[in-house]
Amino acid sequence: MSKTPRHFLVDTDLSPAEQAEVLDLAAIMKQRRFDFKPLAGPQTGIVMFDKTSTRTRISFAAGLSELGGSPLIINPGESQMGHKESIYDSAKVFERMVSVVIWRTYAQAGIEELAENSSIPVINALTDDYHPCQVLADLQTVREAKGSTQGLTMTYVGDAANNMANSYLLGGATAGMHVRIAGPEGYLPDDAVVAAATQRAEAAGGSILVTTNPAEALADADVVVTDTWISMGQEDETEMRLKLFKDYSVNQDAMAQAADDAIFLHCLPAYRGYEVAEEVIDGPQSRVFDEAENRLHAQKALIAWLLYASGLADIPAEL
Protein backbone atom coordinates (compact mmCIF):
# COMPACT_ATOMS: atom_id res chain seq x y z
CA MET A 1 0.00 0.00 0.00
CA SER A 2 1.27 3.46 -0.88
CA LYS A 3 2.46 5.82 1.84
CA THR A 4 1.81 8.83 -0.38
CA PRO A 5 -1.12 10.76 1.10
CA ARG A 6 -4.27 10.95 -0.97
CA HIS A 7 -6.13 14.25 -0.91
CA PHE A 8 -9.57 15.36 -2.12
CA LEU A 9 -9.13 18.92 -3.36
CA VAL A 10 -11.11 18.67 -6.58
CA ASP A 11 -13.65 16.11 -7.81
CA THR A 12 -11.25 14.54 -10.30
CA ASP A 13 -8.85 13.58 -7.49
CA LEU A 14 -10.89 10.36 -7.45
CA SER A 15 -10.90 8.26 -10.63
CA PRO A 16 -14.29 6.89 -11.75
CA ALA A 17 -13.51 3.52 -10.09
CA GLU A 18 -12.34 5.21 -6.87
CA GLN A 19 -15.39 7.49 -6.73
CA ALA A 20 -17.58 4.38 -7.07
CA GLU A 21 -15.69 2.75 -4.17
CA VAL A 22 -16.29 5.80 -1.97
CA LEU A 23 -20.00 5.85 -2.88
CA ASP A 24 -20.31 2.10 -2.20
CA LEU A 25 -18.71 2.69 1.20
CA ALA A 26 -21.04 5.65 1.80
CA ALA A 27 -24.04 3.34 1.31
CA ILE A 28 -22.59 0.96 3.94
CA MET A 29 -21.98 3.90 6.29
CA LYS A 30 -25.64 4.85 5.94
CA GLN A 31 -27.09 1.33 6.30
CA ARG A 32 -24.90 0.41 9.27
CA ARG A 33 -24.52 3.87 10.73
CA PHE A 34 -23.51 2.97 14.28
CA ASP A 35 -22.40 -0.68 14.08
CA PHE A 36 -19.81 -0.51 11.28
CA LYS A 37 -16.39 0.47 12.60
CA PRO A 38 -14.22 1.21 9.58
CA LEU A 39 -11.23 2.68 11.48
CA ALA A 40 -9.22 1.33 14.39
CA GLY A 41 -8.02 3.77 16.98
CA PRO A 42 -8.86 7.39 17.59
CA GLN A 43 -8.65 9.65 14.56
CA THR A 44 -8.65 13.36 15.26
CA GLY A 45 -9.60 15.60 12.37
CA ILE A 46 -9.13 19.34 12.09
CA VAL A 47 -12.11 21.08 10.45
CA MET A 48 -11.12 24.68 9.64
CA PHE A 49 -13.44 27.39 8.38
CA ASP A 50 -12.54 30.66 6.69
CA LYS A 51 -16.21 31.00 5.62
CA THR A 52 -19.44 30.23 7.49
CA SER A 53 -21.17 26.84 7.36
CA THR A 54 -24.05 24.77 8.73
CA ARG A 55 -24.07 21.39 6.91
CA THR A 56 -20.34 21.05 6.37
CA ARG A 57 -19.48 21.83 9.98
CA ILE A 58 -22.12 19.52 11.44
CA SER A 59 -21.59 16.64 9.03
CA PHE A 60 -17.81 16.58 9.52
CA ALA A 61 -18.14 16.98 13.30
CA ALA A 62 -20.75 14.23 13.62
CA GLY A 63 -18.98 12.07 11.05
CA LEU A 64 -15.59 12.16 12.76
CA SER A 65 -17.25 11.34 16.08
CA GLU A 66 -19.14 8.42 14.54
CA LEU A 67 -15.86 7.14 13.05
CA GLY A 68 -14.53 6.92 16.60
CA GLY A 69 -12.53 10.11 16.39
CA SER A 70 -12.72 13.69 17.55
CA PRO A 71 -13.40 16.73 15.43
CA LEU A 72 -11.49 19.90 16.21
CA ILE A 73 -13.49 22.78 14.73
CA ILE A 74 -11.49 25.94 14.04
CA ASN A 75 -13.61 28.98 13.21
CA PRO A 76 -12.53 31.96 11.05
CA GLY A 77 -9.69 33.87 12.69
CA GLU A 78 -9.05 31.28 15.40
CA SER A 79 -5.77 29.78 14.21
CA GLN A 80 -2.41 31.34 13.41
CA MET A 81 -2.42 30.00 9.85
CA GLY A 82 -2.60 32.56 7.09
CA HIS A 83 -1.72 35.63 9.14
CA LYS A 84 0.89 34.83 11.80
CA GLU A 85 2.10 31.54 10.35
CA SER A 86 2.72 30.11 6.90
CA ILE A 87 0.69 27.31 5.36
CA TYR A 88 3.90 25.23 5.18
CA ASP A 89 4.64 25.48 8.93
CA SER A 90 0.97 24.81 9.74
CA ALA A 91 0.94 21.68 7.57
CA LYS A 92 4.05 20.35 9.33
CA VAL A 93 2.41 20.88 12.74
CA PHE A 94 -0.96 19.39 11.76
CA GLU A 95 0.56 16.14 10.48
CA ARG A 96 2.26 15.52 13.84
CA MET A 97 -1.01 15.72 15.75
CA VAL A 98 -4.03 14.61 13.73
CA SER A 99 -5.11 12.15 11.00
CA VAL A 100 -6.88 14.41 8.50
CA VAL A 101 -7.28 18.12 7.73
CA ILE A 102 -10.55 19.48 6.33
CA TRP A 103 -10.59 23.11 5.22
CA ARG A 104 -13.19 25.57 3.86
CA THR A 105 -11.40 28.56 2.40
CA TYR A 106 -11.34 31.04 -0.47
CA ALA A 107 -8.40 30.28 -2.78
CA GLN A 108 -7.94 26.83 -4.29
CA ALA A 109 -4.20 27.62 -4.38
CA GLY A 110 -4.17 27.77 -0.56
CA ILE A 111 -5.56 24.27 -0.09
CA GLU A 112 -3.25 22.96 -2.81
CA GLU A 113 -0.26 24.41 -0.93
CA LEU A 114 -1.47 22.80 2.31
CA ALA A 115 -1.84 19.41 0.58
CA GLU A 116 1.56 19.64 -1.16
CA ASN A 117 3.17 19.97 2.26
CA SER A 118 1.03 17.46 4.16
CA SER A 119 1.74 13.78 4.83
CA ILE A 120 -1.90 13.28 5.93
CA PRO A 121 -5.02 13.62 3.75
CA VAL A 122 -6.38 17.12 3.09
CA ILE A 123 -10.07 17.50 2.16
CA ASN A 124 -11.64 20.49 0.41
CA ALA A 125 -14.74 21.57 2.35
CA LEU A 126 -15.46 24.30 -0.27
CA THR A 127 -13.29 26.84 -2.01
CA ASP A 128 -14.22 29.60 -4.43
CA ASP A 129 -13.61 27.07 -7.22
CA TYR A 130 -14.94 23.69 -6.06
CA HIS A 131 -17.20 21.94 -3.52
CA PRO A 132 -16.39 18.29 -4.18
CA CYS A 133 -17.73 16.84 -0.89
CA GLN A 134 -21.14 18.25 -1.73
CA VAL A 135 -21.18 16.54 -5.11
CA LEU A 136 -20.26 13.18 -3.53
CA ALA A 137 -23.38 13.54 -1.35
CA ASP A 138 -25.42 14.51 -4.39
CA LEU A 139 -24.21 11.45 -6.29
CA GLN A 140 -25.12 9.22 -3.34
CA THR A 141 -28.61 10.77 -3.44
CA VAL A 142 -28.91 10.13 -7.20
CA ARG A 143 -27.86 6.50 -6.69
CA GLU A 144 -30.52 6.09 -4.01
CA ALA A 145 -33.25 7.62 -6.16
CA LYS A 146 -32.27 6.13 -9.52
CA GLY A 147 -30.17 3.06 -8.72
CA SER A 148 -27.11 4.33 -10.58
CA THR A 149 -25.55 7.49 -11.95
CA GLN A 150 -24.21 5.97 -15.17
CA GLY A 151 -25.71 7.49 -18.32
CA LEU A 152 -28.16 9.75 -16.49
CA THR A 153 -28.51 13.43 -17.40
CA MET A 154 -27.84 15.98 -14.66
CA THR A 155 -28.72 19.58 -15.48
CA TYR A 156 -27.51 22.61 -13.52
CA VAL A 157 -29.26 25.93 -14.15
CA GLY A 158 -28.11 29.21 -12.57
CA ASP A 159 -24.75 30.75 -11.69
CA ALA A 160 -22.69 28.52 -13.95
CA ALA A 161 -19.37 30.12 -12.99
CA ASN A 162 -19.41 29.12 -9.32
CA ASN A 163 -17.90 26.31 -7.22
CA MET A 164 -20.98 24.06 -7.46
CA ALA A 165 -21.17 24.30 -11.26
CA ASN A 166 -17.50 23.34 -11.52
CA SER A 167 -17.89 20.42 -9.15
CA TYR A 168 -21.04 19.16 -10.89
CA LEU A 169 -19.11 19.20 -14.16
CA LEU A 170 -16.12 17.27 -12.81
CA GLY A 171 -17.86 15.03 -10.28
CA GLY A 172 -20.82 14.25 -12.55
CA ALA A 173 -18.49 13.43 -15.43
CA THR A 174 -16.51 11.11 -13.14
CA ALA A 175 -19.80 9.32 -12.33
CA GLY A 176 -20.45 8.68 -16.04
CA MET A 177 -23.26 11.24 -16.26
CA HIS A 178 -24.30 13.55 -19.07
CA VAL A 179 -23.79 16.91 -17.37
CA ARG A 180 -25.51 19.97 -18.82
CA ILE A 181 -24.82 23.43 -17.48
CA ALA A 182 -26.91 26.53 -18.31
CA GLY A 183 -26.13 30.10 -17.27
CA PRO A 184 -25.98 33.58 -18.76
CA GLU A 185 -23.16 34.73 -21.03
CA GLY A 186 -20.16 35.74 -18.92
CA TYR A 187 -21.21 33.41 -16.06
CA LEU A 188 -20.34 30.08 -17.65
CA PRO A 189 -17.57 27.72 -16.44
CA ASP A 190 -13.94 28.36 -17.40
CA ASP A 191 -12.72 26.63 -20.56
CA ALA A 192 -10.13 24.66 -18.55
CA VAL A 193 -12.81 23.16 -16.29
CA VAL A 194 -15.01 22.31 -19.29
CA ALA A 195 -12.04 20.68 -21.05
CA ALA A 196 -11.14 18.59 -17.97
CA ALA A 197 -14.78 17.58 -17.52
CA THR A 198 -15.12 16.64 -21.19
CA GLN A 199 -12.02 14.45 -21.01
CA ARG A 200 -13.28 12.74 -17.85
CA ALA A 201 -16.81 12.31 -19.28
CA GLU A 202 -15.45 10.69 -22.43
CA ALA A 203 -13.46 8.22 -20.32
CA ALA A 204 -16.44 7.41 -18.08
CA GLY A 205 -19.21 7.16 -20.72
CA GLY A 206 -20.87 10.54 -20.19
CA SER A 207 -20.81 13.91 -21.93
CA ILE A 208 -20.74 17.67 -21.27
CA LEU A 209 -22.95 20.45 -22.61
CA VAL A 210 -22.55 24.13 -21.68
CA THR A 211 -25.22 26.53 -22.93
CA THR A 212 -26.91 29.87 -22.26
CA ASN A 213 -30.28 28.27 -23.08
CA PRO A 214 -31.96 26.63 -20.02
CA ALA A 215 -34.50 24.78 -22.21
CA GLU A 216 -31.70 23.05 -24.12
CA ALA A 217 -30.15 21.90 -20.85
CA LEU A 218 -33.40 20.86 -19.15
CA ALA A 219 -34.95 18.71 -21.89
CA ASP A 220 -35.65 15.23 -20.41
CA ALA A 221 -33.09 15.67 -17.60
CA ASP A 222 -33.09 13.01 -14.86
CA VAL A 223 -31.64 15.28 -12.18
CA VAL A 224 -32.13 19.07 -11.98
CA VAL A 225 -29.83 21.07 -9.71
CA THR A 226 -29.17 24.67 -8.87
CA ASP A 227 -27.36 26.79 -6.28
CA THR A 228 -27.55 30.26 -4.83
CA TRP A 229 -26.99 33.17 -7.23
CA ILE A 230 -24.94 34.89 -4.51
CA SER A 231 -22.10 32.77 -3.20
CA MET A 232 -20.21 33.60 -0.01
CA GLY A 233 -18.05 36.66 -0.68
CA GLN A 234 -20.32 38.00 -3.48
CA GLU A 235 -22.82 39.81 -1.24
CA ASP A 236 -21.83 43.24 -2.64
CA GLU A 237 -23.09 42.12 -6.07
CA THR A 238 -26.54 41.06 -4.84
CA GLU A 239 -28.62 43.60 -6.78
CA MET A 240 -26.79 42.97 -10.05
CA ARG A 241 -26.93 39.18 -9.63
CA LEU A 242 -30.67 39.04 -8.90
CA LYS A 243 -31.28 40.72 -12.27
CA LEU A 244 -28.63 38.76 -14.14
CA PHE A 245 -29.92 35.29 -13.25
CA LYS A 246 -33.69 35.95 -13.21
CA ASP A 247 -34.29 33.78 -16.31
CA TYR A 248 -32.34 30.89 -14.79
CA SER A 249 -34.67 30.04 -11.91
CA VAL A 250 -35.75 26.43 -11.36
CA ASN A 251 -39.52 26.83 -11.21
CA GLN A 252 -42.37 24.50 -12.14
CA ASP A 253 -42.05 25.42 -15.84
CA ALA A 254 -38.39 24.40 -15.72
CA MET A 255 -39.15 21.10 -13.96
CA ALA A 256 -41.88 20.35 -16.53
CA GLN A 257 -39.21 20.32 -19.24
CA ALA A 258 -37.21 17.64 -17.42
CA ALA A 259 -38.17 13.94 -17.32
CA ASP A 260 -41.44 13.17 -15.49
CA ASP A 261 -39.53 11.28 -12.79
CA ALA A 262 -36.71 13.85 -12.48
CA ILE A 263 -35.47 14.67 -9.00
CA PHE A 264 -34.45 18.12 -7.77
CA LEU A 265 -31.30 18.77 -5.71
CA HIS A 266 -29.85 21.89 -4.08
CA CYS A 267 -26.78 21.95 -1.84
CA LEU A 268 -28.48 24.48 0.50
CA PRO A 269 -28.70 27.13 1.83
CA ALA A 270 -31.50 27.95 -0.63
CA TYR A 271 -33.20 31.24 -1.39
CA ARG A 272 -36.81 30.35 -2.22
CA GLY A 273 -38.27 32.52 -4.96
CA TYR A 274 -34.87 33.21 -6.52
CA GLU A 275 -32.78 30.28 -7.83
CA VAL A 276 -35.59 27.84 -6.93
CA ALA A 277 -39.34 28.24 -6.58
CA GLU A 278 -40.94 27.21 -3.29
CA GLU A 279 -43.18 24.71 -5.15
CA VAL A 280 -40.09 22.92 -6.47
CA ILE A 281 -37.85 22.76 -3.40
CA ASP A 282 -40.81 21.83 -1.17
CA GLY A 283 -42.48 19.65 -3.82
CA PRO A 284 -42.57 15.89 -4.43
CA GLN A 285 -39.53 15.79 -6.74
CA SER A 286 -37.23 17.44 -4.21
CA ARG A 287 -34.60 15.31 -2.44
CA VAL A 288 -32.76 18.17 -0.77
CA PHE A 289 -32.88 16.82 2.78
CA ASP A 290 -31.72 13.34 1.74
CA GLU A 291 -28.91 15.20 -0.03
CA ALA A 292 -28.06 17.17 3.12
CA GLU A 293 -28.05 13.98 5.25
CA ASN A 294 -25.80 12.26 2.74
CA ARG A 295 -23.06 14.80 3.45
CA LEU A 296 -22.55 12.83 6.69
CA HIS A 297 -22.37 9.37 5.12
CA ALA A 298 -20.38 10.36 2.02
CA GLN A 299 -17.77 12.25 4.06
CA LYS A 300 -17.37 9.42 6.59
CA ALA A 301 -16.71 7.14 3.61
CA LEU A 302 -14.33 9.65 2.07
CA ILE A 303 -12.27 10.04 5.25
CA ALA A 304 -11.96 6.27 5.72
CA TRP A 305 -11.17 5.69 2.02
CA LEU A 306 -8.46 8.38 1.93
CA LEU A 307 -6.83 6.93 5.06
CA TYR A 308 -6.88 3.42 3.53
CA ALA A 309 -5.56 4.64 0.17
CA SER A 310 -2.82 6.64 1.91
CA GLY A 311 -1.64 3.56 3.82
CA LEU A 312 -2.54 5.26 7.09
CA ALA A 313 -5.32 2.88 8.18
CA ASP A 314 -6.07 -0.80 7.63
CA ILE A 315 -9.07 -1.79 5.54
CA PRO A 316 -11.42 -3.85 7.76
CA ALA A 317 -11.55 -7.54 6.80
CA GLU A 318 -15.29 -7.34 6.17
CA LEU A 319 -14.85 -4.89 3.28
Instruction: Indicate the annotated binding residues for carbamoyl phosphate.
Output: 53-56, 80, 104, 131-134, 267-268, 295
Which residue of the set 6, 131, 200, 297 is catalytic? Answer: 131
Contact 137, 287 (CB under 8 A): no
| CA-atom Rg of the chain in angstroms | 19
Q: Which is nearer to ligand NVA, 160 or 254 (CB)?
A: 160
Verify whether residue 227 is a known catalytic residue. Answer: yes
Please select the residue that binds ligand NVA; options are 90, 105, 149, 162, rule is CB under 6 A.
162
Give the closest residue to 274 by CA, choosing from 222, 226, 223. Answer: 226
| Amino acid identity for residue 67 in this structure | L
Which residue of the set 129, 295, 297, 299 is catalytic? Answer: 295
Q: Which is nearer to ligand CP, 56 or 118 (CB)?
A: 56
**Which residues of the chain form contacts with ligand CP (CB under 6 A)?**
53-56, 126, 134, 267-268
Contact 209, 169 (CB under 8 A): no
Contact between 232 and ligand NVA by CB under 6 A: the answer reads yes
Nearest approach, Cβ of residue 192 and ligand CP (Å): 24
Q: Which is nearer to ligand CP, 58 or 315 (CB)?
A: 58
**DSSP annotation string for 229-262:** SS-TT-GGGHHHHHHHTGGG-B-HHHHHHS-TT-
Which residue of the set 6, 7, 57, 104 is catalytic? Answer: 104
Rounded Cα distance between 209 and 222, Å, is: 15
Is the peptide bond preceding residue 38 cis, with omega within 30 degrees of 0?
no
Rounded Cα distance between 65 and 46, Å, is: 12
Contact 34, 296 (CB under 8 A): no
Binding partner of 54, given ligand CP, ligand NVA, none, CB within 5-8 angstroms per partner class: ligand CP
Contact between 166 and ligand NVA by CB under 6 A: the answer reads no
Residues contributing to the site for ligand NVA (CB under 6 A) = 126, 131, 162-164, 227-228, 231-232, 267
User: Any idea which residues carry the catalytic annotation?
Assistant: 104, 131, 134, 227, 267, 295
